Amino acid sequence: MKSDTHPDYRPVVFHDTSVDRYFVIGSSLKTDRTIEYEGKTYPYMQIDASSDSHPFYTGKQRISESDGRVAKFNKRYKSRAKK
C-alpha cells in the first residue's frame, strides 16, 4: 500500500455559531485554527448550520404559502376531468 495517499483523519471541533453549540467529529478537514475543548486541543472550524439548527432537522421548516405548478394545475382542472 502506498504511504501518504490518504488525508489525515482526526477529531475536529465544529462550532455551530447560530445556536452556539460545539461538537467533535472525525474529519480530514485542514485548518490552522485550534481550540481547547474539554481539556484537549483540537482543530477548530466554525459552521453556520448543523443538525441542531437546520430547519429540516429541528422541525421548524417553513411551509410555502403558494402551491407548486402541478398542484395549481390539478386544482384548476380537477373538476373538468370528472365530467
pLDDT tens for 10-33 read 999 999 888 888 999 999 988 899
CA-CA distances (angstroms) from residue 16 to 23, 45, 49, 67, 72? 8, 9, 6, 33, 39
Q: Which residue type does 71 have?
A: A
pLDDT tens-place string over residues 52-66: 776 665 666 665 555
CB 1 within 8 A of CB 31: no
Q: How large is the average pLDDT for residues 2-7?
A: 83
Domain range spanning residue 21?
7-53
Does 32 reside within a domain? yes
Residue 74 lies in a domain: no
Quickly count helices (H) and strands (E) in the chain. 2, 4
Report yes or no on 69 lying in a domain. Answer: no
Please report whether residue 58 resides in a domain: no
C-alpha angle 25-26-28 in degrees, rounded to nearest 5: 125
Number of domains present in the structure of the chain: 1
Q: Look at the block and give the residue holding cell 485542514.
A: 30
- Decide if 67 is inside a domain: no
Residue 68 lies in a domain: no
